[in-house]
């Protein structure tokens, strides 16, 4: 009796497993999300302003270095009128 039930359960499981075969798709179901650029995240105008501020900071650093060099080398940068012409 017990073996008969086991046999019936096994046959039912085998029948069900035939119906639930997974199919493998060639293409993925979900496409990866496109990452937004920084300009899209904060807005184009704000992004341009941020870039401009960064460039201004770099320019100020370079100008500061040039002023220090000009002060240190000032005595060597004085030319006489004959050398300049």
pLDDT in tens, 19-78: 555 666 677 677 778 888 888 888 899 999 999 999 999 999 999 999 998 888 877 777
- The count of domains in the chain is 1
- Name the 3-class secondary structure at 14: helix
Tell me, what's the pLDDT at 72?
Answer: 86
Kindly state whether residue 64 falls inside one of the protein's structural domains.
yes
The phi-psi region of residue 7 (left if phi > 0; otherwise alpha if psi is between -120 and 50; otherwise beta) is alpha
Kindly state whether residue 19 falls inside one of the protein's structural domains.
no
For residue 6, report the phi and psi dihedrals to the nearest 5 degrees.
Answer: -60, -40
The range of the structural domain enclosing residue 49 comes to: 39-75
Kindly state whether residue 28 falls inside one of the protein's structural domains.
no
pTM, two decimals, is 0.48
Tell me, what's the pLDDT at 20?
Answer: 56
Kindly state whether residue 47 falls inside one of the protein's structural domains.
yes
Residues 6+ apart with CB under 8 A from 38: 47
Kindly state whether residue 85 falls inside one of the protein's structural domains.
no
Kindly state whether residue 51 falls inside one of the protein's structural domains.
yes
């Amino acid at each position: 009796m017990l073996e008969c039930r086991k046999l019936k359960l096994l046959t039912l499981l085998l029948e069900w497993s035939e119906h639930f075969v997974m199919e493998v798709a060639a293409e993925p179901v979900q496409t990866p999300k496109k990452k937004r650029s920084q300009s899209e995240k904060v807005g184009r105008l704000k992004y341009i302003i941020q870039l401009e501020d960064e460039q201004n900071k770099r320019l100020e650093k370079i100008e500061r270095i040039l002023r220090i060099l000009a002060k240190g080398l000032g005595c060597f940068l004085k030319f006489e009128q004959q050398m300049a012409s």
